[in-house]
């Protein structure tokens, strides 16, 4: 069978509402490009399977939850496209997104990995009496490397395109790395070790969504705490753990940010740092070498 120009791989787990919006947002551009969509269910999920099928996506189901890298590998194995486009299930893509990625891939054959801007799209702008001041990053994954295409060190799996040839050379994603602990970062480290580069495509931006129900301080704090724990494990993997004193200074600055700027993001950033400190304590308690 003749390869397709692109396959969009969407790993998901029990988030059918987000998945519905994501698939609807790039359905027309997928059809125009003669591409395909593969939705990978990280464990059985009849509701999400029905949503995917309604949008014309192929469905791959893992027999049990195995994590995002296992889902990505399963989607890659099922893909028929020359360009494998990884996205998260909570994104929304404008009509120019996929055409920009395909154009960049055609214009720069010497590059095999492409990432685009990831913009925060929060339906709730305030949490209680506090808002977000904008001085710090939004409380979810974003990427902004400017208005011009250029090489960058790292892109994120919410908006990451890889030529099949690079996957054949470098191999798949490491399924032993848990989510948030460098799951997609480790693959790009292996890719860059070959002397290759990640290309930032400024026109290939999409939105990283949070509905009003999910855009609460409690939800952001909980997520940040777990990401902090995973972040410490990623630093340990790379042998780059910062001193505890530095972590404590960051924590103090995050807490001071709340009254100084009347910004809820201070609580979120503090939770992230507390997660890092908690994971450090767990490793020390268990006798791990830090």
Structure tokens at 4: 């397709």
Residues 52 and 95 in one domain: yes
Residues 36 and 165 in one domain: yes
Q: What is the rounded CA–CA span in Å between residue 174 and residue 189?
A: 12
pLDDT score of 289: 44
Q: How far apart are the first and last CA of the chain?
A: 51
Q: What is the rounded CA–CA span in Å between residue 195 and residue 178?
A: 26
pLDDT score of 285: 73
- Kindly state whether residue 132 falls inside one of the protein's structural domains: no
- Kindly state whether residue 185 falls inside one of the protein's structural domains: yes
Residues 182 and 201 in one domain: yes
Residues 243 and 166 in one domain: no
Domain end position, chosen among 168, 191, 210: 210
Q: What is the extent of the structural domain holding 221? A: 217-285
Please give the tally of structural domains in the chain: 2
The SS3 call for residue 126 is strand
Whole-prediction pTM: 0.88
Residues 120 and 224 in one domain: no
Residues 40 and 177 in one domain: yes
Closest CA to 156 of 108, 206, 106, 121: 206
- Kindly state whether residue 188 falls inside one of the protein's structural domains: yes
Domain end position, chosen among 167, 186, 210: 210
Residues 164 and 108 in one domain: yes
Residues 279 and 224 in one domain: yes
Structure tokens at 36: 């395909």
> How, if at all, do strands 91-92 and 126-127 pair?
unpaired
- Region for residue 179 given its phi and psi (left: phi exceeds 0; alpha: psi -120 to 50; beta: otherwise): beta
- Kindly state whether residue 134 falls inside one of the protein's structural domains: no
**Sheet hosting strand 206-210, strand order edge to edge:** 91-92, 206-210, 118-122
> How, if at all, do strands 159-163 and 81-87 pair?
antiparallel
Closest CA to 197 of 140, 233, 149, 230: 149
Residues 160 and 67 in one domain: yes
pLDDT score of 80: 96
pLDDT score of 287: 63
- Kindly state whether residue 290 falls inside one of the protein's structural domains: no
Residues 267 and 176 in one domain: no
DSSP run (H or E) holding 187: helix 183-192
Residues 194 and 272 in one domain: no
**Across the 290 residues of the chain, what is the mean pLDDT of every consecutive 10-residue run?**
90 97 97 98 97 98 95 97 97 98 97 97 74 79 96 96 96 88 90 95 97 90 89 85 92 92 90 92 65
Q: What is the rounded CA–CA span in Å between residue 215 and residue 121?
A: 10
CATH of the domain at 46: 3.90.550.10
Residues 41 and 120 in one domain: yes
């Amino acid at each position: 069978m003749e390869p397709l120009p692109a396959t969009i791989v969407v790993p998901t787990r029990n988030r059918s509402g987000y998945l519905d919006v994501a698939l609807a947002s790039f359905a027309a551009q997928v059809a125009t490009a003669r591409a395909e969509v593969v939705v990978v269910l990280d464990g059985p999920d009849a509701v999400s399977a029905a949503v995917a099928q309604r949008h014309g996506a192929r469905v791959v189901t893992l027999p049990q939850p195995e994590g995002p890298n296992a889902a990505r590998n399963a989607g890659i194995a099922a893909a028929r496209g020359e360009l494998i486009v990884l996205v998260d299930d909570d994104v929304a893509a404008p009509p120019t997104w996929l055409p920009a990625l395909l154009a960049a891939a055609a214009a720069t054959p010497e590059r095999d990995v492409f990432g685009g801007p990831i913009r925060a799209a929060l339906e709730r702008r305030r949490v209680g009496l506090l808002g977000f001041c904008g001085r710090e990053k939004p409380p979810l994954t974003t990427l902004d490397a400017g208005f011009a295409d250029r090489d960058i060190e790292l892109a994120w799996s919410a908006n990451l395109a890889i030529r099949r040839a690079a996957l054949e050379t470098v191999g798949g994603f490491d399924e032993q790395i848990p989510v948030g602990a460098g799951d997609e970062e480790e693959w790009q480290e292996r890719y860059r070790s070959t002397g290759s580069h990640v290309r930032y495509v400024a026109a290939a931006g999409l939105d990283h969504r949070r509905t009003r129900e999910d855009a609460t301080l409690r939800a952001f704090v909980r997520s940040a705490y777990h990401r902090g724990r995973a972040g410490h494990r990623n630093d340990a993997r790379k042998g780059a753990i910062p001193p505890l004193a530095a972590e404590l200074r960051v924590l103090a600055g995050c807490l001071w940010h709340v009254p100084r700027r009347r910004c809820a993001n201070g609580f979120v950033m503090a939770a992230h740092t507390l997660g890092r400190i908690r994971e450090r304590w767990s490793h020390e308690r268990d006798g791990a070498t830090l």
